[in-house]
Structure formats: C-alpha cells, structure tokens
Chains A and B, each alone.
Chain A
Amino acid sequence: MNFDFSDDQKQLRDQARKFLAEKCSPKAVRVVLDGKAPYDKELWKGLAEMGFLGVAIPEEFGGAGAGHLELCVIAEEMGRANAPVPFSSTVYLAAEALLIAGSDAQKKKWLPSIASGEAIGTLALFEGKGNPAPKNVKLTAANGVLNGVKKPVADGAIADFAVVAARTGSSGREADISLFLVDLKAGGVEVKSLTNLDPTRGQAEITFKDAKAEPLGAAGEGWSILTEVLDRAAVLCAFEQVGGADRALEMGRDYALDRIAFGRQIGSFQAVKHMLADMYVSATLARSNSYYGAWALSTNAAELPEAAAAARISATQAFQHCAKNNIQVHGGMGFTWEFDCHMYYRRANAMALGLGSLTYWEDQLIDRMRKKNAA
C-alpha cells in the first residue's frame, strides 16, 4: 500500500509552494482584497508559465497531461497561499466540465487557452438561494439561446466563458437539465459584480437575454454531468481547504509562541494549547479524507461520489474551524484588517458555500453511503 503522494508529486508541491511564496505573498493578495484589481493577473500568467493551469489537461489540448494527483498538490498550495485568482472556477469547474462532456471541437477551442492562461472559465449554476438541485434551475434554453439570471457566479465578472446549467424540459426530473457553453464576451450577456464575503475571489450576477449558447454534452444529461463535475471539484477544493487550514493553524501556532501575556508565552496556557491541538486534529482528519478523495478521483473509482462528499465535509469543517480559532488565538489583533487572519476566515466561509453548502453535502454523503450498502 502507498496511500500517499509520490516523490515526484511531493516535489511538485514544493515547487508550487516556493513559487507561490514568491509571487503570492499576503501583500500581493491584499491588492485584490483592497479592490485595487479584480484578480492577480501577473500571478495568473505565472501559473500558466509554470504549467499549473493545465497540469491535468491532456497534452493534445495544450496541457501538461500529468493528472489529478498533480492537480491536488497544486490545489493545496493555492489554498495555503490564499491565491486571488480564478483557479477553482477555471480549472476545477470549467475545464473538468469540458473534459467530461466537451466535443473535440469544444475541447480544442477552450482547453489550450485555459492552459495558457488566456481564457478564464466558470460554472454558472446557482440562481439565488438554495443548493444544487434540478428544481432550482429556472434559466431556460431554447432555439440556441439562453434566458434567465445566474447568481452568484464565482469569478463571473472576469470570466471569458461559462458552463451554464439550463432548463430544457419540464418533466420535473433530472433530464430537464442540460449544459451549455456561453461566450460571455458575446451579446446578450450582462454582468454585475457582487459584494461578497471574500473579496479576493469575485462573485457576479449574470443576466442572459437571448444569449447564444452551444450545448455541452447531450441534451438532458446536464444534471449527471454536473454531479460529476461537482464531485471532482469537491475533492480539488478540499485540497485548497486543507492547505488553508494548515496555514491558519501555523499562523495560530506561531503567534502563540511569540506572544507573551501574564509573563509567559500564551502557547503555554492549556486553554490555548488545547484549542490548537483540536485544530490539528480537524486538519489531519480533513487531509486524510482528502487523500482518499484524491485516490478515487485519480483512479476514476466507483467510490468517488462517497469519497468526494466526505472530503468536502471534512475539509470544509477543518478550514472553518482553523480559520476562526486562528483569530481567537490572535485575540484583538486577529480582528484587525491589518493582520492576515481574516483573509483565511473569509476564504474558509466563502469556500464552504461555493459548491453547495454543508447541508447539501451531508445529504449527498448519506445517500451515497446507503447506495453502497445496498449494492
């Protein structure tokens, strides 16, 4: 058994960490946090040059043709650095949707420009409140055009294209949903930026008015494709969350070692030590669940749906737990704009919702466990 990443993959992780430490310092993240840029363009370019954007895209479509395990280790570092770039929207959602369901022509059109950093993609699924469910998709597709409103769309204001979930039937079943590719720079698309919890990752409302769209995958198969895209993205996001959780834990640990109160390091008080120990526990459980998700993703195993849900829940909890207690360890300073703690708190809580909230994934996990037991 080798339930771990290979030496080459670990080397890639070190390479990504080094690159991001240099190009994505907290100071660089703050440029986007403070609203001075919609995302870090230089970093995005650099990620493309490093081959990170196309690491899991096959060579024939302009990628590095490595695989999902390689993408997992990069994702962990993106989370650790709190990178202010549309990585998850473009790479986990748009590119994976194209890889699963795209025609050869669609893949040829979009994947090489994703790998090269020229195209930003996203998934437009949500329409206001509610979790992923066919009944929540109201935007319609007919005669090659879309009509309706998607909100929130991650990185919607900077994306070049979107994979859009649309209603093509009214039977009340999953088969009513189909996916479409839309060029967001074309006519009939109106984009409005939304204020959101995590300004380092934009959110938008996109209104489609007779916007031209081409089908992605077969009509009526949108929901099953979407489910697989969300499962894959859940694993990849879990690695970002694990990276973020680890960083928040380290920040808390370092502060507890440096800060003196009552004449001693605050890390010598059990109340603080035990809080940090519990953060380590949740981060470790999340990492282990995510490794299982990575295995299932990389081997295309039948266990992926269950593994993805478990990784999603565990990593979401761990990142939220570590990010909030990191602020607690820092005391008042943790609640200032100046300290970096809130960047992780914001990211943790935004990520907890992005692919559907915990409520949704808890439901998914139990359904999938039951299915497995019944089989």
Chain B
Amino acid sequence: MNFDDTPQEAEFRATARAWISANAPRQYEEELRKSSLGRTVLKNANILEVAKAWQKKKADAGWACLHWPKEYGGRGASPIERVIWQQEEGPFGQLSRMFIIGHGMCGPTMMAFAREEHKRTYLPPLASGEKVWCQLFSEPAGGSDVAGLRTRAEKDGDDWIINGQKIWTSGAHYSDYGILLTRTDPDVPKHKGLTMFFLDMKSPGVEVRPIKQASGASDFNEVYFTNVRIPDHQRLGEVGDGWNVSLTTLMNERSAIGAAVSTGFPELFEYCSSLMLDDGPAIEDRAVRSKLANWAVKASGLKYTSMRAISALSRGERPGPENSIGKLVAGSMIQDVATYALDLQGASGVVSGEDGELAGRFQAMLLRAPGTRVEGGTDEIMRNIIAERVLGLPGDIRVDKDVPFNKIPTKGRG
C-alpha cells in the first residue's frame, strides 16, 4: 500500500507539471482557487474566453482530451495519465467546466457511433475548445425518465425534421453543436422508438432560451426545435436504437474517475478555524467540532474512495462501482455545509453578495446547491443505480415498459 507514482507515472507527472508551470494563465490562479460552488467568476475577464484560450493552448501542445486518440485531437494517454494531469492542473481545471459535457459525453458518443469522416471533422475542434458541444436529452416530460421524451424526428427524404422542446441543456447558449435524442416511433414502447443525432446549433429553427435558475444565475437553457432539418448522415446509431446510444453517453458521464467533487468542507473548516462566536473561537465549540468531524470523515472518505479507483486504473483495471457514491454524498453534503455556515453567522447570514460574510461565499453555495442534487442524475436515481447495479436488487416495476409510447398516460390528476 503506497501513494507513490510508478517511474513512468512520475515522469509523466514531471512533464505535465513543467508544461503547466510554464503555460497556465497564472494571473487567474488565486481567483480560481477561491472559487466554490455557485461562484466561479473572474472579476476582470470573461471566463468563457479565458477557458477557450487555455483549452486551445493545451490542445496545441497535445494536452487536451488526454485519453482520446491522437487523430481525434487527443493524446492517446492512459486513464491514469489523465488523472495525473487533472491533479497537476489543479485550480486551472476549473476552466474546463464548460467543456465537460462535450469532452465527457458528446465526444465519446461521436467516437462510438459517428461516421469516420465526421469524427475527423468534428472531434479535433471539440477537443481544442474551438467548438463547444451540448447534450440535448432532458425534456419537460422526461427528466429522470429520459426515455419519456417527446421531441419528434420524422423522415423527409434524406433528412429528418425535428419538432419539440428540450430543457436543462447546460451551455446551449454558447454551444456550436449538440447531440440530440428524439422519438422516431411513438407506436412502440418508449425505449424502442428513440433515435440519436448530432446537429449544428445554428441550424434554422433552433431557438435557445436561458432558464433563470432558483439561484438567480443561468447555466441551463430551454431549446426549442421548429421544423429543424438534420441530414440522415448525422444520425448516431440505428433508427430506434437511440436508447442504447444514450446509455453510452450516460455511462461516460458517470465514469469520470478522479474528477474532484466539491463538498464545501475545506471552505467550512477554513472558515471555522478563524471564526469567533459569542462564546469564543468556533473551532473550540463542542457543537461546531462535532459537525466538522462528521463532515471531515465524509470528505476524506470520498477522497480515499477516489484514490482506490485511481489505484485500480494505475494497475490497468476497471475501477469498481464504489466511485458512483461521489455525487450522491457530495451533493447533499455541500447543501448542509452551506446551511450550517450561515447558521454560524446568525442573523447576518441572510446578507448575500459582496456585502455578505466572505463576499457571500456560503450564501452562493447554498443557493446553487439544490441543483447539484438534481443535475446529472438525482439523488434518487443515484441510489437506484447503487441498489440495482452494485447490490443487485431488482429494478423498479415499470408499468409503462411494454405499452406503446402513445398509449402511456401523460397526466397525474385531472
């Protein structure tokens, strides 16, 4: 049992570290380091532009999408090298956020299902960040139940005509392309009538409307499709096989090993270490210490769970399912941590923004936190995944499984 790199890993780490040290946009390091959930902003620069510039620089030097094949803009690196890169990139990794969907989900789906000429055309600019991609799956009638989606694709010669609406599309407002899951056959059970495409987000008939979130910010969008034409050669997988194609996408989302999950604990511990309460230092208060200790072991438990997965990668094995707990634990924890940080502030905890304690750091965290428990699979879906795929418990009884899609009830009451 050890934390040492193998000689090859150490060499890779040294090379990565040297390149990052010479090339990273150091002027933003402090701000990126201090960013936390709900607040990743740069005061004097457009973060989108800074992120794109950093990604392009990385791509030009062969440090983008490390695990992708070289011909598609990657480095052909091993999974463990990708993890080492993430560790070395540190706070600058925050700048990769706008590319996570494209690199983590759209790219792998294209790689598995697109035509060779499309892969060579579209993947390198996706890797370099020159083109940004989004994922158009969720709909008003299909959230956790993705296969309940209603956006129609109808064949018209060599094209497909798309009509419908997507929702919760991260980054659609700055995306150039998207992968789109549609219903091509409503007369068969819901999982069997789906088909996947990719499309140019600038196509006529695509309209993106930002959603104002409960937090006040707008990271997500509604996307409307009105008679949008997609050529058949942009279909991904067979007609009617869209569900299986989408599983490839979602599996990639959940296998992002080593990606740090934010728990809010380091921020809270730092805060409590200097905070004075009415009766003395917060860190010497019995109740505060108990809360901190309980969150500390969750945060360290997640960290070392991730280390175990990385070790499996390092040995060339596929990591086990234990990594699936990260988002589930961190999501509700950061919400509780933020709530508690405000509790410690007393009545003044209500003040957010620049006038708030620590410029409203924990207030912003609190307001953003509900989203983390929903996006990318709700807490309930994550628990189902653990129960079914890890523990081997039976799937839910699905009353709509064998019913033609257009016969499934669409309303609860009334």
A336 within 8 A of B: no
Most chain B CB within 10 A, of A272, A299, A309, A365, is at: A365
B394 to chain A, nearest CB (A): 4
Interface 9-mer from A123-131, A182-190, A216-224, A263-271:
A263-271
Q: Which residue of A lies closest to B270 (CB)?
A: A373
Contact of A365 among B297, B325, B395 (CB under 8 A): B297
A108 to chain B, nearest CB (A): 30
In the complex the two chains form, is A295's CB within 8 Å of B297's CB? no
* Set of chain A residues within 8 Å of B390, measured between Cβ atoms: 277, 280
- Give Cα A363 to B289, complex, Å: 7
In the complex the two chains form, is B393's CB within 8 Å of A267's CB? yes
Q: Which residue of B lies closest to A5 (CB)?
A: B1
User: Chain B: interface residue count, which band?
Assistant: 35 or more
* Set of chain A residues within 8 Å of B303, measured between Cβ atoms: 288
- With A3-B311, A268-B396, A313-B297 known as contacts, the answer to whether A273 contacts B387 (CB < 8 A) is yes
- Give Cα A81 to B326, complex, Å: 29
Q: Which residue of B lies closest to A2 (CB)?
A: B311
- Give Cα A143 to B325, complex, Å: 57
* Set of chain B residues within 8 Å of A265, measured between Cβ atoms: 393-394
Interface residues in A105-153 (C-beta closer than 8 Å to B): none
- With A3-B304, A3-B311, A288-B307 known as contacts, the answer to whether A276 contacts B387 (CB < 8 A) is yes
- With A276-B387, A285-B298, A366-B289 known as contacts, the answer to whether A6 contacts B308 (CB < 8 A) is no
Q: Which residue of B lies closest to A284 (CB)?
A: B322
In the complex the two chains form, is B397's CB within 8 Å of A295's CB? no
Q: Which residue of B lies closest to A370 (CB)?
A: B283
B381 to chain A, nearest CB (A): 11
A286 within 8 A of B: yes
Interface 9-mer from B2-10, B168-176, B178-186:
B2-10
Contact of B325 among A5, A268, A284 (CB under 8 A): A284
* Set of chain A residues within 8 Å of B380, measured between Cβ atoms: 270, 274
In the complex the two chains form, is A3's CB within 8 Å of B308's CB? yes
Mark each residue of chain B from 291 to 315: 1 if its CB lies under 8 Å from any CB of chain A, else 0: 0111011101111110110111011
Mark each residue of chain B from 315 to 337: 1 if its CB lies under 8 Å from any CB of chain A, else 0: 10000001001001100000000
- With A2-B314, A3-B308, A280-B386 known as contacts, the answer to whether A292 contacts B300 (CB < 8 A) is yes
A325 to chain B, nearest CB (A): 13
In the complex the two chains form, is B304's CB within 8 Å of A289's CB? yes
User: Chain A: interface residue count, which band?
Assistant: 35 or more
- Give Cα A370 to B292, complex, Å: 12
A294 within 8 A of B: yes
A74 within 8 A of B: no
A302 within 8 A of B: no
In the complex the two chains form, is B396's CB within 8 Å of A270's CB? yes
* Set of chain B residues within 8 Å of A249, measured between Cβ atoms: 391
In the complex the two chains form, is B308's CB within 8 Å of A4's CB? yes
B383 within 8 A of A: yes
- Give Cα A317 to B292, complex, Å: 15
* Set of chain A residues within 8 Å of B382, measured between Cβ atoms: 277
A183 to chain B, nearest CB (A): 37
* Set of chain A residues within 8 Å of B301, measured between Cβ atoms: 284-286, 288-289, 310, 314
In the complex the two chains form, is B293's CB within 8 Å of A274's CB? no
Contact of B1 among A2, A253, A289 (CB under 8 A): A2
- With A268-B395, A273-B383, A366-B289 known as contacts, the answer to whether A288 contacts B305 (CB < 8 A) is yes
- With A268-B394, A284-B322 known as contacts, the answer to whether A362 contacts B289 (CB < 8 A) is yes
B21 within 8 A of A: no
Chain A residues within CB distance 8 Å of chain B? 1-6, 69, 249, 253, 256-257, 264-265, 267-268, 270, 272-274, 276-278, 280-281, 284-286, 288-289, 291-292, 294-295, 298-299, 309-310, 313-314, 317, 359, 361-363, 365-366, 369-370, 373
Chain B residues within CB distance 8 Å of chain A? 1-5, 9, 269, 273, 283, 289-290, 292-294, 296-298, 300-305, 307-308, 310-312, 314-315, 322, 325, 328-329, 380, 382-384, 386-388, 390-397
Show 7 A/B contacts (Cβ-Cβ < 8 Å), sorted by A.
A265-B394, A268-B393, A276-B393, A277-B384, A280-B386, A284-B322, A310-B301
Q: Nearest 6 pairs between A and B by C-beta?
A: A285-B301, A362-B293, A288-B304, A273-B387, A277-B383, A277-B386
